[in-house]
Amino acid sequence: MGLYFKFSIVLFYIPIFAIYFIIKKFYIINNKKIRKKIRLLSIKRYSRYIKLIITPKVFFYIIIFSVISNSIVIFQNQKYNNLYKDKQNISGEGIIISNGEEREYDYLYKIKLLHANNRQYDNTYLYLKINKKSTENIQYGDKVNFNGEFIEPTSKRNYGGFDYKEYLKTLKIYGSLKVDIIKIIEKDIENPIFSFANRISLKIKQKIDALMRKEIASLVKGIVLGDNSEIEETVEENFRTSNISHVLAVSGMHVSYIIIGIHLFFQPIIGKKRTRCIIIIFLIFYIFITGFSTSIVRASTMGILAIGARILHKKNDIWTSIAISLGVILIYNPFLITNIGLQFSYLGTIGIILFHKNVLKVLGSIRFKNKKRKYRFNRNITLLVAKIKEILSVSISAQLAIFPIMIYHFNLLGIYFLITNLLVSMIIGPIIILSSLVIIFSLIWNPLAQLISFFLEILVQILIMISNLSKLPFAKIYLPTPKILIIMLYYFFILIFNNIYSLYHRKKLNHTQIRARNLIALVKYKLFLNKKIFLKIFLTTIVSAIFLITFIPKKLNIHFVDVGQGDCTFIVTPNNKTILIDGGGSSSNEFDLGKSTLLPYILDRGYTKIDTVFISHFDQDHVRRFVIYNAKYNRQTYSNWKTI
């Protein structure tokens, strides 16, 4: 709540309390006899169901924690805004807390600031950009003295555009520091646990790089360690379009395979209780070596809570586990609530919990029979179909929960997601197991690791082939960015439909569920009695909406899009026709301006096509083009404007 209320939220609760006490004081209960006629539209009737969920105790907790969250975010934003001004020279000391990332002109490190310009700092992190010409051999854990220029991160420049400043907040980064002079003061002074975990992580990555080809190694590091930094952009896009990008983020599935593997290996030797203690220790260490990724923290924390409950002979509650794991993450950094990986991870898990059983029932009602086959063959087919239905139900349940958020962030709908997820589910288990074995044996006996890596490469290559289904015709559909209200309505209706389906397919119902079911029956009965009136109202509403949309004139909208060094104008006429004048351009082959800036802008405005395109002239700051030699006409022609 703190992210959306920029003012003090205490002011928001004062009128709520005032209204509550006024209603409570002056509300007069009608003591007359209850009429036999039941009112369908009754506030008092439906408020009962709200009171069952939002009790005074729950409401009190919401107020307390929303005030706390609002205060934390306001304080953090003030800290971000007041740190330094852009282009200011600063000097100070800090500790390197990441490995160097090689870029075109410099190396990028994350630094924990100790003091700068005679000011002490605590829990303040910056990106350190060091020129490649520097002779200092900087490593993780080094304490350094620096002098350079502070660069404030940029905010979004277009409607719905990427906000680099808000993104860096999810990493607890306050800005960048372009260093001219840097000197190592002391070596390896970072926390020994973090340093040890970093060395192990580096060792594992080096072993994977030595055993496999670059493309395969980058995917294995993504699957096992959640490190996607070396995966090519085209490969990552194929995974995203195929709706299988979740395999590149360590999730509950990965953690479950790790737990099963440790159980099978240690339980016969040391027993159940000690094995569970080893699993908890390993999961904590796993969080450290993978760099505290949000999806890993969620999956591992929930796994630790489930195993801890068994050790203490307590019942594990899945909703409590979700709440505690999310609380741990947001206490560390409240801005992580906007992280896409965190949203997908939690929403996918919640979707499986809420919808899995009902989706499985729907799929279970689909039956395949073949009387000509023998019983044994039929039984095997039945088991296979049941397994496929189980896999599909999990995938559909997760997709139902993340669908609007995926459209909101990526504007992409993958058509073949059921096929790709079904195929991936058959090989991802062996990939995780073989990857773990490769890592273990590479530290013990390298020849065996090489043998296992041969089979692992084959499976990863199959995984790449599955992701290439995104290149098939109609594999992806671009959709306009949905409004927040549309997303809220989507979740409201899907939860209502899910609960209604549960009411009619659950064997045992409590009193509240019986009342709800009777209420639905009453609505059906009222609609049947007055179907002519409701039909007239429905048709009148539809005709009125069509008239308003079609005949009421609209404004001419002209949008000037910020494309950097260049021009771009997007026009929407009163007749809802779209016109693009120029598209900007870039001399860099690494940055696709059309894909990264212009296309998201048009989709965020709610449009999926351009009716007319005008190019004023062919300078590179107005249109990006490729020159193709046409032998037939013996001239050069301009084609394939990637910006458009």
pLDDT band (50, 70, 90) for residue 570? very high
Question: Looking at the domain assignment, is residue 214 inside a domain?
Answer: no
Residues 86, 152: contact at Cβ < 8 Å? yes
- The answer to whether residues 592 and 625 belong to one domain is yes
Residues 333, 170: contact at Cβ < 8 Å? yes
- The answer to whether residues 536 and 613 belong to one domain is no
pLDDT(641) > 70: no
- The answer to whether residues 128 and 180 belong to one domain is yes
pLDDT band (50, 70, 90) for residue 48? low
What pLDDT, on the 0 to 100 scale, is given for residue 586? 66
Quick one: how far is CA 19 from the chain centroid?
38
What pLDDT, on the 0 to 100 scale, is given for residue 512? 73
Residues 45, 39: contact at Cβ < 8 Å? yes
- The answer to whether residues 52 and 107 belong to one domain is no
Question: Looking at the domain assignment, is residue 602 inside a domain?
Answer: yes
Between helix 294-311 and helix 318-332 the angle, nearest 10°, is 130
Of 368 and 291, the one with more pLDDT: 291
Helix, strand, coil shares of the chain, percent, nearest 5, are 55, 15, 30
Helices (H), 445-510: 446-467, 484-505
What pLDDT, on the 0 to 100 scale, is given for residue 350? 92
Range with the poorest average pLDDT among 41-45, 576-580, 582-586:
41-45
- The answer to whether residues 96 and 108 belong to one domain is yes
- Of 597, 605, 552, nearest to 578 by C-alpha is 605
Place of tokens 């350079």: 148
- The answer to whether residues 136 and 48 belong to one domain is no
pLDDT(630) > 50: no
Residues 624, 642: contact at Cβ < 8 Å? yes
Residues 6+ apart with CB under 8 A from 104: none
Domain boundary among 174, 190, 206: 190
Interval 150-178: pLDDT, tens: 888 888 888 888 888 888 888 888 888 88
Report the sign of the C-alpha dihedral through residues 530, 531, 536, 542, in that order. positive
| pTM summary value | 0.81
Q: How far is CA 4 from CA 101, 290, 338, 466, in A?
A: 34, 31, 11, 40
Range with the poorest average pLDDT among 46-60, 88-102, 182-196:
46-60
- Of 415, 419, 361, nearest to 390 by C-alpha is 361
pLDDT band (50, 70, 90) for residue 263? confident
Between helix 417-444 and helix 214-225 the angle, nearest 10°, is 90
Interval 121-151: pLDDT, tens: 877 888 888 887 777 788 888 888 888 888 8
Please tell me the distance from the alpha carbon of residue 498 to that of residue 496, in angstroms, as a whole number.
5
Interval 414-425: pLDDT, tens: 888 788 888 888
CB atoms within 10 A of CB 137: 9
Question: Looking at the domain assignment, is residue 550 inside a domain?
Answer: no
Question: Looking at the domain assignment, is residue 138 inside a domain?
Answer: yes
Residues 225, 287: contact at Cβ < 8 Å? no
- Of 143, 149, 88, nearest to 111 by C-alpha is 143
Collapse the DSSP code of 452 into the 3-class scheme (helix H, G, I; strand E, B; otherwise coil) and give the result: helix
Collapse the DSSP code of 578 into the 3-class scheme (helix H, G, I; strand E, B; otherwise coil) and give the result: strand
Number of domains in the chain: 4
What pLDDT, on the 0 to 100 scale, is given for residue 72? 80
Range with the poorest average pLDDT among 189-198, 212-221, 434-443, 505-514:
505-514
Of 48 and 88, the one with more pLDDT: 88
Mean pLDDT of 440-462: 86
Please tell me the distance from the alpha carbon of residue 433 to that of residue 281, in angstroms, as a whole number.
19
Question: Looking at the domain assignment, is residue 390 inside a domain?
Answer: no
Domain boundary among 142, 172, 190: 190
Question: Looking at the domain assignment, is residue 337 inside a domain?
Answer: no
pLDDT(638) > 70: no
Provide the domain limits for residue 73.
10-80
- Of 281, 246, 278, nearest to 262 by C-alpha is 278
Collapse the DSSP code of 629 into the 3-class scheme (helix H, G, I; strand E, B; otherwise coil) and give the result: strand
- The answer to whether residues 138 and 155 belong to one domain is yes
Mean pLDDT of 108-114: 89
Question: Looking at the domain assignment, is residue 57 inside a domain?
Answer: yes
Q: Rounded mean pLDDT of the chain? A: 80
- The answer to whether residues 91 and 177 belong to one domain is yes
- The answer to whether residues 100 and 181 belong to one domain is yes
Domain boundary among 58, 80, 102: 80
Mean pLDDT of 315-330: 88
CATH of residue 118's domain is: 2.40.50.140
Interval 175-210: pLDDT, tens: 888 887 788 888 888 778 888 888 888 888 888 888
- The answer to whether residues 521 and 586 belong to one domain is no
What pLDDT, on the 0 to 100 scale, is given for residue 587? 59
Please tell me the distance from the alpha carbon of residue 225 to that of residue 248, in angstroms, as a whole number.
9
- The answer to whether residues 20 and 66 belong to one domain is yes
Residues 293, 249: contact at Cβ < 8 Å? yes
Question: Looking at the domain assignment, is residue 278 inside a domain?
Answer: no
What pLDDT, on the 0 to 100 scale, is given for residue 121? 80
**Proportion of the chain above pLDDT 90, given as a percent:** 4
Residue by residue, what is the 3-state secondary structure of 175-235?
EEEEEEEEEEEECCCCCHHHHHHHHHHHHHHHHHHHHCCHHHHHHHHHHHHCCCCCCCHHH
Collapse the DSSP code of 616 into the 3-class scheme (helix H, G, I; strand E, B; otherwise coil) and give the result: coil
- The answer to whether residues 89 and 73 belong to one domain is no
Supply φ then ψ for residue 627, to 5 degrees. Answer: -95, 125
Q: Which of 7-16, 59-68, 192-201, 525-534 has the highest mean pLDDT?
A: 192-201
Mean pLDDT of 497-510: 83
